[in-house]
Amino acid sequence: MIDERFHSFEDDVTDVALPRQFTWPFHYVPHRLCVIAAQQVQRYVSSRIDWVVELAEGKMLGVLVVTDADGQLGFLAAYSGNLAGRNDHPYFVPPIYDLLNPESEFRRGEREIVEINNKIDSLEQSEELKLLHERRSAMIVDQDAEYGRYKQEFDAAKEKRHAMRAAAQLTDEEREALLHESQFQKAELKRIRKRHSEQLSDIDSKLAELQGEINELRCKRKAMSEALQQRLFELYVVQNAHGEWQSVGKIFSDYAIQTERPHLSVPPGGTGECCAPKLLQYAYVNGLLPVCMAEFWWGASPAGEVRHHGHFYPACRSKCLPLLTFMLQGLDVESNQLAVSSCDDIEELYDDEWLTVVNKPAGMLSEPGKLLSDSVLTRFKTRHPEATGPVLVHRLDQETSGLLVFAKDKTTHKELQRQFAEHEVRKKYMALLDGIVEPDGGIIDLPLRQNAADRPRQMVDFDDGKRAVTMYEVLERTTDGKTWVMFSPVTGRTHQLRVHASHLQGLGIPIVGDMLYGIAADRLMLHATSITFMHPATGEQMTITCPFPQ
């Protein structure tokens, strides 16, 4: 195949075995072919001096290893969004839909919206509108001054009438005169208010007319923007390995119905601009057979997120999960390892009539999930049918191993949860970090929140995040450049230890095997090794330990 976007391997890969199945893009260890292809792409982008500044700010790139109709092995490359203001650099696959084409339907729609924006700006900055606002402000000042002067006269006359009535015996004619004076002044006060209101009403009607025109244009702009966005979802049409075509809008709508999650029916902005769908689309359209795929980050990490230069990362879920679920149909794809339960059984380290402490194997859910019913909780309930009420006291990530506490009755559960909520429970985690931690210990204090655009990833957010505090102690620095660390979390946020380890404002070194925040491996090297709590029934301080699995 002769195509400048189909790249042959510069390195000898004849001895590298092809994968048996295509990559499950949301949880994977990159195949050796993808690693070699990514290194070749990295050499290319490093040679582009004109891209240095932009790439240094951070960009996701991806590779798709393919074979052509003649069985020749090669790879495709892609970048997310645009690069140097373009989406058509010859080395990389083109976009699914060319948003930058000035003659495209999207660009024409954008120009129409820009015209409306210009009209709105022209009206809002018009001399007429400015003068009307100035006249209204000046009129209010004059009216307030006039009303204030008359009100002073009114109040002074009122006080004088009160004094006259109190000081002397008035004749009927004098009392009548005072009454008429009071009535006249009250009526005059109302006449002044009415005149002021009429004067303002004339200006307000002119302002309302102009504002109405502006509001009408704003409504038109909103309707056009929404229609254009919806149309964009129809213009992005993708293919799967069966040769079936479908619009992004229909894919998300069907996915929302199938998963019973109506909030997913509208694609997020930027859907279709990520590496994975661009790579697959180009392969299908050009008769190439996908073999394996990987995405890697190049440059600085986005603010708050964890992205390490050169590390591989799974595809984002908010934009790509529904889309790739369709596009991968027809390929023999690896099973989702997060939907496959660990074959290891749970080990009970402590058990009495009130509670049980178990050793959770890595890869097993703490409780049933949407894709997987098997879990530590499920197995615990099977073993202990005598347990009543809520039993799961706390949770561990699916990929984390170690100690979990279960209650056997409602009273025990309530008391243990109180101890967790009030930070009376002390937990320790052993972790192997993928680099050398220089300080011997310290405290990490970085607030966390969910990354709504890429669940289940968490991110650091000093404005809206919840406080997360971790104490750490270095246990050993290995000769192969890794560090064993003991973490003691003060709070218990989702992915707290994983983010605190990997984020540049934390230790800046991910845990080995952390494919969300670091580099994928056989397992996440994080283990809950110790837990200390007060026994709810006996009052005894309990410390249960469990060594890191060999």
Whether residue 311 is found in the same domain as residue 346: no
Alpha-carbon span 268 to 512, nearest angstrom: 32
Whether residue 133 is found in the same domain as residue 158: yes
| Residue at 109 is within a domain | no
Alpha-carbon span 508 to 486, nearest angstrom: 16
Which contiguous run of DSSP H or E holds residue 246? Answer: strand 245-247
Whether residue 321 is found in the same domain as residue 380: no
Structure tokens belonging to residue 441? 């210990």
The pLDDT tens digits for 347-372 are 999 999 999 999 999 888 888 877 66
| HEC profile of 4-36 | CCCECCCCCCCCCCCCCCECCCCCCCCCHHHHH
The pLDDT tens digits for 112-136 are 999 999 999 999 999 999 999 999 9
Whether residue 85 is found in the same domain as residue 126: no
The pLDDT tens digits for 185-201 are 899 889 988 988 888 88
Tokens 């052509």 locate to 68
Whether residue 47 is found in the same domain as residue 133: no
Domain boundary among 190, 222, 254: 222
| Residue at 179 is within a domain | yes
The pLDDT tens digits for 388-414 are 878 999 999 989 999 999 999 999 999
> What residues are annotated to the active site?
397
Domain boundary among 200, 222, 244: 222
Whether residue 59 is found in the same domain as residue 135: no
| Residue at 105 is within a domain | no
Domain boundary among 270, 304, 334: 334
Whether residue 198 is found in the same domain as residue 80: no
User: What is the total count of domains within the chain?
Assistant: 3
Alpha-carbon span 269 to 36, nearest angstrom: 32
pLDDT of 258 strictly over 70: yes
Whether residue 153 is found in the same domain as residue 55: no
- Determine what percent of the chain is predicted with pLDDT higher than 70: 98
CA atoms within 13 A on the CB side of 111: 10
| Residue at 228 is within a domain | no
Domain extent at residue 528: 340-545
Whether residue 354 is found in the same domain as residue 322: no
Whether residue 483 is found in the same domain as residue 370: yes
| Residue at 14 is within a domain | no
CATH of residue 413 = 3.30.2350.10
Q: What is the mean pLDDT of the chain?
A: 91
Whether residue 390 is found in the same domain as residue 539: yes
| Residue at 25 is within a domain | no
Whether residue 386 is found in the same domain as residue 513: yes
Signed CA dihedral, 375, 380, 383, 387: sign only: negative
| Residue at 112 is within a domain | no
| Residue at 168 is within a domain | yes
Among 3-7, 174-178, 263-267, 411-415, top mean pLDDT goes to 411-415
